[in-house]
A and B are shown apart, each in its own frame.
Chain A
Amino acid sequence: MEAIILQILNGLDKGSAYALIALGLTLIFGTLGVVNFAHGALFMIGAFCAVTLSRILTLSRTVVDETQTDFLGNPLEVQVPYVYDWFGQATGDAIIDWAVPLSILFAIPVMMLIGVIMERGLIKHFYNRPHADQILVTFGLAIVLQEIIKFYYGANPIPTPAPDAFRGSFDFGAMLGLDPNVVIYPYWRIIYFAFAAVIIGAVFAFLQFTTFGMVVRAGMADRETVQLLGINIDRRFTIMFGLAAAVAGLAGVMYTPINSPNYHMGMDFLVLSFVVVVVGGMGSLPGAVLAGFLLGILESFASMREVLEVLPGINQIIIYLVAIIILLTRPRGLMGRKGVMED
């Protein structure tokens, strides 16, 4: 029982990341009809927005401290962050400590901008080309972005901790009346799940309750007719691309305290997110979210020792196995509509 609760909780945060990335993928696919293999790279760049902001916040001036020596016996050069000079040490420390949540504000405009540049600069030219061309160009773009990040930040993971207040873990078991120490769950993962839920809710509300969203939905259903009505649907779709990039970026920002970001984290998520999109049904936003959480939880269950003893290696294939079963029984995915990508 405890093990089951634990693995459901575990699946929720992984599922949150899958759902957020798959949501962005589906938004792009549904609006622009482009299969965007660079979406994992956007997730990764989001994470590096957090790294960049924390580097900016810790920009320092060098003070030579004659009383201490460095590893070669020379006088030690101490780094004093500028925020200490401006706000005093206590406030400065607090600002540095809260770098990851602050990065949300930093990442939204940056990611929107990167998304719009990507769409206008490159992907626009591939609308009338076959899907295979789109996949190749976006995949190539992903590799380029990855190498740029590696060039500037190195290949090793960069620790980006959560604020002190959210470190440690919460004893769910004790709350539910189970033995203490059995069902524990880190605070930050709870926050990640809640954050994902808010973002997903906001995207749906935006599409459902605003005029802009209504036009976009109409464009997704029938682009030509909307254009015939004199609406510049292309511009709206570009904005949607920026929005999808921001969603992926935010998923990346908030993910950094869970796993230290490195340059290939995007690729790790990309392939699974595509499986999520296909299982959820191409072009279906609720399908993407549902499938994201479903596969996240299934993956968690498959990594249990008890399961692995019966079926060794199942943890590595479970997602693909489930994808095959769902596609065999429901070829359009869980919530796929007729006519999407079938012409």
Chain B
Amino acid sequence: MSKTDLTRRGLLKTSAIAGAGVALPTIFTASSAAAFTNEPTGDTVTLGFNVPQSGPYADEGADELRAYELAVEHLNGGGDGGMMNTFSSNALQGNGILGKKVEYVTGDTQTKADAARASAKSMIEKDGAVMVTGGSSSGVAVAVQALCQEAGIIFMAGLTHSNDTTGKDRKANGFRHFFNSYMSGAALAPVLAANYGTDRKAYHLTADYNWGYTTEEAVRASTEAMGWETVAAVKTPLTQTDFSSYIAPVLQSGADVLVLNHYGGNMVNSLTNAVQFGLREKQVNGKNFEIVVPLYSRLMAKGAGANVKGIFGSTNWHWSLQDEGSKAFVKSFGTKYGFPPSQAAHTCYVQAMLYADAVERAGSFNPCAVGEALEGFEFDGMGNGKTLYRAEDHQCFKDVLVVRGKENPESEFDLLEIVEVTPVDQVTYAPDHPQMGGAEATLGECNPGA
């Protein structure tokens, strides 16, 4: 029987020291790796595309995903480069981001706040996404933005139009390129006054959620300022499909304009119902009855068919724009997919490019450094003319398009015509504007996470 001088106490001591010795370097590396959440350490970087792949906005989500795939291709040096060639910043080289190849994971928001949060969380925690982007609803955008703020990663909002996203619910880690309700109201009002006069009585039907409220508020404020009267404003349930009982009383109210603060399926149905009831052929108060849709999208216009003809609305971007950036994007997207991109696709592509560019300029994926690079960033060549990412609320300020349903479309994509490009000065507001949450609204502190 051999005798060793190994005692229990001795063993514990040695293993404790050895354990500490082994652990020491990892403690150091772990603490340096944890400078911010999901710091990319290998030669790839993962982005999270959180878009509606099922549910009512699935088609819009599919278009967003196409745009992201195109953006990734361009960032990695594939394809024709699209808007990277027209972008005023020349930081992007087509060699990924900071030399790291761009990879991506996708999540399904289902256009439900809880599902969107769950898929964003999984992309951040499981897949190591360093940035989350996408979405087609303001309810979802506000929820995911708050999650990204807590997790310490950047959120580049997709299609979200509610004032709240960069208004009362703005966050330091969240950025929005898309325009908002206030801008729609401010851009539409002068066009409406010029076409329909200043003596009008408006009747609002409003989708009963966050985006509906801010849109109604914005359109009312800007139309009332130029002399219109608001006869009534009725909230309609988001799940409503037949709007006849809301449309039928409109004529009786003495109103001569109907404003539909609806989006997606709601807008398609309410507009179809309004046209069925013959509102557009009526004369009220000696004037032609008119309908206005504050937020238009081509995909919605397609759903509403011939009913959109002649109806005014606003949009963030349209494929028929003739600036170099838009032409490059339409060519690149159209060649790959065979049809022109939607405004949702455009804003998502631009957001992905702006993020990549900001990382390059900051020289780091750290969300606080990226945020700093985006704040106050002025750029051009991305389809909307000169654009500013305002530091105070992380909202992009650019020209707004006022559009009208085209009377004689030449193709199935040719549904809207641009009536006016409202200059950015007309749609700019103070960061503490009452519609944007007033003085209390703040971005808070940038959160780099772990």
Contacts and interface: CB of A to CB of B under 8 A. Distances in A.
Contacts of A168: 276, 278, 281
The interface residues of chain B, by DSSP majority, are classed as helix
A268 interface: yes
Interface string B258-283: 00000001001100110011100111
Interface residues of A, number: 48
Contact of A304 (B56, B249, B303, B307): B249
Interface string A53-93: 00000000000000010111000100000000000000000
Contact of A3 (B252, B283, B330): B252
A182 B279 CA distance: 11
B284 interface: yes
A268 B246 contact: no
Contacts of B147: none
Nearest to B331: A72
A329 interface: no
Interface string A300-343: 10011100100000011000000000000000000000000000
Prevailing SS type, chain A contact patch: mixed
Contacts of A14: 242, 244
A159 interface: yes
A185 B279 CA distance: 10
B234 A308 contact: yes
Contacts of A308: 234
Contact of A181 (B56, B284, B331): B284
A3 B253 CA distance: 10
A265 B334 contact: no
A169 interface: yes
A272 B438 CA distance: 42
B58 interface: yes
B55 A155 contact: yes
Nearest to B335: A72
B7 interface: no
Contacts of B273: 258-259
Interface residues of B, number: 50
Contact of B58 (A76, A150, A159, A188): A150
Given A71-B411, A150-B58, A259 B245 contact: no
B246 A182 contact: no
A70 B411 contact: yes
Contacts of B272: 159, 258-260
A6 interface: yes
Contact of B303 (A76, A159, A258): A159
A303 to B, nearest CB: 4
B113 interface: no
A191 to B, nearest CB: 12
B55 A6 contact: no
A182 B320 CA distance: 41
Q: Which 8 A-B pairs have the closest CB atoms?
A: A159-B305, A169-B278, A155-B58, A303-B245, A186-B276, A157-B303, A300-B245, A156-B59
Interface of B: 54-59, 232, 234, 237, 239, 241-242, 244-246, 248-249, 251-253, 265, 268-269, 272-273, 276-278, 281-284, 299, 302-307, 319-320, 330-331, 334-335, 340, 410-411, 413-414
Given A181-B251, A259-B241, A300-B244, 20 more contacts: A2-B252, A6-B248, A7-B248, A14-B242, A71-B330, A71-B334, A72-B335, A150-B58, A154-B58, A158-B303, A159-B302, A169-B277, A169-B278, A185-B277, A259-B242, A268-B239, A300-B245, A304-B249, A305-B234, A315-B245
